[in-house]
Structure 1
Amino acid sequence: MPHIAVEEHLPGITGLLEFRKDTAQPIRELTQILLRGTSTLTEGERELIATVVSNGNNCKFCTAAHTAAADLFLGESETAGMVKTDIAAAPVSEKMKTLLTIADSVRESGKLVTTTHIEKAKAEGATDLEIHDTVLIAALFCLYNRYVDGLGTALPADPGYFDVLAERLINNGYMRLPQGYDHLKK
């Protein structure tokens, strides 16, 4: 049960973002820029970063949501599953492995990102912008994970919710739906 009164039909982050729309707006905008904006990293790769961080933080809601979104973007479910258990063995590029490793380090502490991490990423072709955005996505998802878990948000009763949420994230991005979320009430 959530620690504060949020709309019951909006589990996880959505209920919190609806609770306080004024604070939600800037983080929604930042998320939209980082995960859906112009980038040399694909949307699927950026969702993998969110997945690795959320999984490492044991945030069940965010892990399920971003795994489902990554799966849809990638058109398969093996990769997201693998990055959660063994980045080194995952079927992603060597560059992506280095970026996911950086993201996982940021999750623990930004101070764990070393010059060696950065040199390896650059040696695999990562640009300064890709490294920057990886660190910022990782930091942003630490915020989201702590927000979701710190307020004790509920998981949806139906696991199929995450497939619907992933479709919404792919089709509408991270901004609030113009019509709101009342249509999700049962």
Structure 2
Amino acid sequence: MPYIELGNDAPGIIGLLRYRPETGRVLSELAEVLLRGDNTLPRGERELIASYVSTLNGCRFCAMSHGAFAAAQLSGGEPVVAEACSAPDTADISDKLRALLRVAAAVQRSGTAVTPEDVAAARKAGATDTEIHDTVLIAAAFCMFNRYVDGLSTTTPDDPALYAHRAAHVVTHGYLP
């Protein structure tokens, strides 16, 4: 049960975005640009980064949501997402994505935890400066989103079908209301 009365029964961040549409719009625009905007990183990989950081943060709503969004857009679907979020070093993903997940994990710990070696490894695996930048920003943004969702104790449905249904909408229409 949320700590505050949201005036709606929408789960997770959706209820929060509806509660304060003036901030909700800005946060939705940020998610739209980071996860769906023009980029050399495929949308599914960006969603996987969001799910991975949310998993590290223990934010079930965001981990499940963005895991479903990633699965809907990645070859290999849900098994690849589950593997990457639990064991990225051995997951069936590209070396570039593996290196970017290491950068994202460092950001999740602390911005200063990202090392020159992390960035060099990502570059060596083929990541561009823009991809490294966007990985850091996605990871930092999801630390904020996760704390927003969990800090107000929003509702987290357990049924994976609900997240898969939402994935179909997000993949087609995006994050903007």
CA shift, 1:7, in A, is: 4.1
Distance 1:97 1:157, change over 3 A: closer
Cα separation, 2, equivalents of 1:166 and 1:104: 24
Q: 2: distance between equivalents of 1:63 and 1:130?
A: 21
2:2–2:154 contact (8 Å) kept in structure 1: yes
Question: 1:151 and 1:144 mapped to 2: Cα distance?
Answer: 11
Query: Counterparts of 2:7 and 2:160 in 1: how far apart (Å)?
Result: 18
8 A Cα contact 2:8 2:19, kept in partner: no
Q: Does 1:41 align with 2:55?
A: no
Give, in whole Å, the separation in 2 of the partners of 1:174 and 1:46: 14
The answer for the alignment partner of 2:167 in structure 1 is: 166
CA distance in 2 between partners of 1:170 and 1:106 (Å): 26
Deviation per CA, 1:3-56: give whole Å up to 9, x if none: 011244301010000000101111111110110001000011001100110000
Structure-1 residue corresponding to 2:53: 53
- How far apart in 2 are the matches of 1:65 and 1:130? 22
Q: 1:158, CA displacement in angstroms? A: 3.9
- Partners of 1:159 and 1:7 in 2: how far apart? 25
* Residues 31 and 97 of structure 1: CA distance in aligned 2, closer, same or farther (over 3 Å): same
| Aligned residue identity for 2:40 | T
Number of equivalenced pairs: 176
The aligned counterpart of 1:11 is: 11
Q: What are structure 2's unaligned runs of at least 5 residues?
A: none
Distance change (3 Å), C-alpha of 1:126 and 1:158: closer
Q: TM-score, normalised by structure 1?
A: 0.91
Provide the C-alpha distance between the structure 1 equivalents of 2:147 and 2:90, rounded to a whole number of angstroms. 28
TM-score, normalising length from structure 2? 0.96
Equivalent residues in 2 for 1:66-85, closer than 5 Å: 66-75=66-75, 76-85=77-86
CA RMSD of aligned residues (A): 1.1
2:25 is paired with a residue of what secondary structure? helix
Letter in 2 for 1:122: R
Look up the equivalent residue of 2:121 and give its one-letter code: K
- How far apart are residue 159 of structure 1 and its match? 3.7
**Structure 2: which amino acid aligns with 1:172?**
H
- CA 157–115 in structure 1, closer or farther in 2 if over 3 Å, else same: closer
- Kindly provide the amino acid, as one letter, of the partner of residue 169 in structure 1: V
Equivalences for residues 4-153 of structure 1 within 5 A = 4-75=4-75, 76-153=77-154
